[in-house]
Structure 1
């Protein structure tokens, strides 16, 4: 019998093998020890062995059960889906209904719709092909980046005239074969210093961040970056900058006090062949405490988290997006991260860094996500097509709150208070007022566009 049990146990795997062989070994040990003891010692020893054996067996069964739980749950879920589909559907419907009620409670009361002419906003500057922009705090002076001509146009918004035009030679692309569709470099992004005496520009010079004297247009410093520098973020005190480099797929950390290139942080393994198909600057997000920089990776669409003090990448459990991330930002009040990707809008909670889906796109194929407001409450999209629109979405409620006619949009920016939207269109810079909109139902009922934000599937 012992031989048969041992043979059976040897032919099994996992828990069966352990139980049979372990049981035989334990039984043999107990029998041998019992045979060598007499009297009171024998009773005490046998009792202790039984208690210890029971505890060990209980622990072994618990560990085995833990290993089996996941597979058992998967089997149970499969069986439920196969034999009780109506029950599963009812559960999903209940969750969707609950989410719909939560979203409805957050819906805004909208202003009365205005005419198409009023909703189209004001043409601030008739400057073609603006790629990026910066505006002075008083709202009087506009700085525009024109990539095609590698020029920076300074425009007086009050007088509606050009004050200065700064130009630099266009950097010729030396090795197009290693950069997919890369073209000759022209200025990509702009940022003003806090005192507004300096203007920072990426790709105004080849592979550099240029520091420009606003009064004279003179380049006073050229700070080396990675290949094809693109988007740019400054710290609030203006002492640090972070530059996203398209072709080298890295972030350059720069000290603006000493004008030194401090570090290059690689994002992912990358062969330099990818390109940005997006006409606007690439998205980055700096946390309210300025200790964390988030940026989408170019290869897999993951979100990369960078410690701005150590210049090192850090583990980010919620870093996997569902496609390419096109907009991202922190909510200053609670530190939550809001990002939009190919599938919808997600939120990453500050307390546990876990992501949850807030909205999935209904008609994603006809919209391009362009930006998130500074408070993280609104998201702007642009529709494709000759007769296009800017669509403004309340993120929490999944509600379209604004529809504004706008065609050939390159990029857009929110004002600091989020009440205005600056649209960089083909014919110039347009300012939209958030409260002066067409009827949102018109776009929802439109056969080409339809609704934007649908309740996510449970």
Structure 2
């Protein structure tokens, strides 16, 4: 009898979901919203300081909301725009977008119908993400550079309270019923669960590492998934007391964001794996990996459509947003966007009608300008993707490095010879994380400025990764290959 009961329970877990299952961040019982021209996909882009606006019905870029200027304009003491546009959230009624800019400590609230900034709230050091409570009355901002959640009024957007949490809160997400807030940390190996009504700690979950950039609550209200970027893992814990850990998954280097899609085949977790340039898909009942989808260089944020038929993904080093068809887990569209996409959200019925919601949008301009390279060990496949984002007189270089020895020091450098020998000009030193990976950035006039009065030079420089040995640059372990298309 016990065995029969267990079998029946297992079959129930694996049974297909009914049509009309709700999508994140709403509860499973919410109605599906079919893809239409009223929907919008938004991607926050931290080097162009823009938010790309995409119509998913045609998978076309409508334009960008420009919240700030690229370098060097944003270095002026009189600069008033935003810097490092990064995090995204939206109101339950889908009329307001919340955009977090890390370096300017700002949350910009944008009217989705007009693309106009309604209000900007400045909070503490280096906020990361901001999400509305399910009732829309408050906005909780994870102030990652400090040790609290800034609570903003959902109507006036003014700060009303601060909730102490472990140092470095990376993100807050709410249970679909609004009872709990789940706060993971980027500096402390602990996620805390808060009772939203009382703001008291209801539970704690020990993280397998200190660096959690992203957390998501499943629409069925049973599970919470979080990613651990430094060790290449994802953790799953029970969404209700006792908040016990259900599974720790080895997902891959630079595991970034996680979200869910509910389809006729079940509920699935989608995770961006930056070091593999893939989105991995897992069942949430059996934790079985069912797909690994190539999507482009360094996938970061992702979100499902209102009916779960698609998942949209921002590729940080790929200058594009890709659309995945969930019934087949195949990429069906690639859409250009701004520089270094971070968070991404899909907002169903964000605008009042087809053809609306285009006011205030601007073309990509220089935000579309980038050069792409790959690096790899001699004789091996490329392991590192590199983007050089044009900022005018300077460029931002970003490398998604993988394939290194964990915990060892390295440097990204320019070599005078393609084999890494000869003179070296170090650009940035870094330590490989426990997954043998790292995100490495450098800023400067990477392109040479030629003086017309000087004789032309054929000198070239090649991007390499070198091991640091005895405090000095040693042998090259990865060499520049070629420009990616």
**What is the TM-score with the length of structure 2 in the denominator?**
0.51
Q: How many residues align?
A: 292
1:149 corresponds to: 48
1:357 corresponds to: 246
1:97-126, CA deviations, whole angstroms, 9 ceiling, x for partnerless residues? xx99998996689xxxxxxxxxxxxxxxxx
2:319 corresponds to: 427
1:379 correspondence with 2:269: yes
Cα separation, partners in 2 of 1:269 and 1:339, compared to 1, 3 Å: closer
Cα separation, partners in 2 of 1:340 and 1:173, compared to 1, 3 Å: farther
Cα separation, partners in 2 of 1:414 and 1:172, compared to 1, 3 Å: farther
1:288 is displaced (CA, Å) by 2.5
1:262-308, CA deviations, whole angstroms, 9 ceiling, x for partnerless residues? 112232257xxxxx9xxxxx543202232321111233320122333
Matched ranges for 1:193-232 at <5 A? 193-203=91-101, 206-214=104-112, 216-232=114-130
1:412 correspondence with 2:302: yes
Cα separation, partners in 2 of 1:258 and 1:356, compared to 1, 3 Å: closer
Could you tell me how far apart the structure 2 residues matched to 1:173 and 1:377 are?
Answer: 48
Could you tell me how far apart the structure 2 residues matched to 1:207 and 1:335 are?
Answer: 33
Could you tell me how far apart the structure 2 residues matched to 1:206 and 1:347 are?
Answer: 34
Q: Give the number of the structure whose alpha-carbon radius of gyration is greater.
A: 1
Residue from 162, 187, 192 that aligns with 1:299: 187
1:236 correspondence with 2:134: yes
- Contact 1:345/1:360 (8 A) holds in 2: yes
Residue from 209, 216, 225 that aligns with 1:329: 216
- Contact 2:216/2:259 (8 A) holds in 1: yes
Cα separation, partners in 2 of 1:198 and 1:208, compared to 1, 3 Å: same
Residue from 194, 197, 213 that aligns with 1:309: 197
1:370 correspondence with 2:268: no
Matched ranges for 1:147-296 at <5 A? 147-158=46-57, 160-163=60-63, 165-169=65-69, 185-203=83-101, 206-214=104-112, 216-269=114-167, 282-296=170-184
2:3 corresponds to: none
- Contact 1:383/1:389 (8 A) holds in 2: yes
Cα separation, partners in 2 of 1:297 and 1:344, compared to 1, 3 Å: closer
- Contact 1:152/1:165 (8 A) holds in 2: yes
2:284 corresponds to: 395
Could you tell me how far apart the structure 1 residues matched to 2:300 and 2:221 are?
Answer: 31
1:317-348, CA deviations, whole angstroms, 9 ceiling, x for partnerless residues? x4222224455333444544444555654332
Cα separation, partners in 2 of 1:338 and 1:100, compared to 1, 3 Å: farther
- Contact 1:136/1:142 (8 A) holds in 2: no
Could you tell me how far apart the structure 2 residues matched to 1:405 and 1:215 are?
Answer: 33
Cα separation, partners in 2 of 1:163 and 1:136, compared to 1, 3 Å: farther
Could you tell me how far apart the structure 2 residues matched to 1:401 and 1:245 are?
Answer: 35
SS of equivalent to 1:227 = coil
Could you tell me how far apart the structure 1 residues matched to 2:259 and 2:313 are?
Answer: 13
Q: Which runs of 5+ in 1 are unaligned?
A: 1-98, 110-134, 175-183, 271-275, 277-281, 439-447, 449-458
Could you tell me how far apart the structure 1 residues matched to 2:163 and 2:35 are?
Answer: 31
1:347 correspondence with 2:237: yes
CA RMSD between the two structures: 4.0
Could you tell me how far apart the structure 2 residues matched to 1:336 and 1:105 are?
Answer: 17
Could you tell me how far apart the structure 1 residues matched to 2:294 and 2:37 are?
Answer: 27
Cα separation, partners in 2 of 1:165 and 1:219, compared to 1, 3 Å: closer
1:211 is displaced (CA, Å) by 2.2
1:434 is displaced (CA, Å) by 1.7
Quick check: which one's helix share is greater? Answer: 1
SS of equivalent to 1:188 = strand
SS of equivalent to 1:248 = coil
SS of equivalent to 1:319 = strand
1:199 is displaced (CA, Å) by 3.0
SS of equivalent to 1:290 = coil
- Contact 2:36/2:57 (8 A) holds in 1: no
Q: Which runs of 5+ in 2 are unaligned?
A: 1-5, 17-33, 331-382, 384-485
Could you tell me how far apart the structure 1 residues matched to 2:175 and 2:244 are?
Answer: 17
1:392 is displaced (CA, Å) by 0.6
SS of equivalent to 2:206 = coil
